[in-house]
A and B are shown apart, each in its own frame.
Chain A
């Protein structure tokens, strides 16, 4: 059995905010009609309700995010991902749906600190100041797609593809260097 390793091995940089890779995280993509009864029931079994447009719901260490009209993302502990994927696949077997464990195709970063917003403002065209808690914002991070949300007080979490994890970490590290604060 091979060892699962995250993209950047929890790389961490201290700037005017702290940027760090989150290590191993489970992520499951669910493509389905979101009104589908088997889907709603399967999510309910996990304690989760369907998020509103662009919204996030959370329960018991799980995060469920609205990604597009026919796509949800379930974020869970890395070792739970295969079991959740199997359970969701079984629940949706008779519907037109797709459940894929994408944990090892993604990376998750944390930006922590009072000025976390300023790092995001340098990198994304999204209106960060207007981003409410509980919303998943999919957007552009310099040259690559990324998604982020307010995952805690003074904390923003960023999801990107594993193939560009080093690029995104480079962006975050440079943008968080002391002396480069925006305000």
Chain B
């Protein structure tokens, strides 16, 4: 199967083609490793867990941001075009710069803020209210798909903020809403983030829900 990969060596950017013998059940990540180990050792990409939980391997496959390790080669159209994520600066080949991404994450105070002490109880219902939003693996797919993320917070930090706001153990909701009130209005509801999220977290919905909360919160002031 033919792969077209977007290369960048620090100065020059170009397409390169590779032919990879495909086996049943092969993922795009395995194909990338095949290329690196057999055809061109200079190909750079990130990967770690190869089971869709670490978030290292997001790239654009045929235009859509996806996890390379979770994408079956057999389900793709030939030639398979692989490019680095959009809205990130490319360091090398498929490797993009995530420093800014994690800095944005920090802005929303993504940790449990809690002054009370003593035993904590949380019922399964309370857990369910926020649980799915804890599943964000911070792969950057949503940021790549969003047409406005480059100049604003983007979807990922908002999901994190929502996850803590909805946690019954948390006492920092107001702080976070205050921070979000500066950022949350940039969204244009393109909802592309929800389309590409590999964990189906629906960031677009979360943003809209939080807008209403930020609004309610600001009105009280």
Q: Do A and B come from one complex?
A: no
Report which A residues bind B (CB closer than 8 A): none
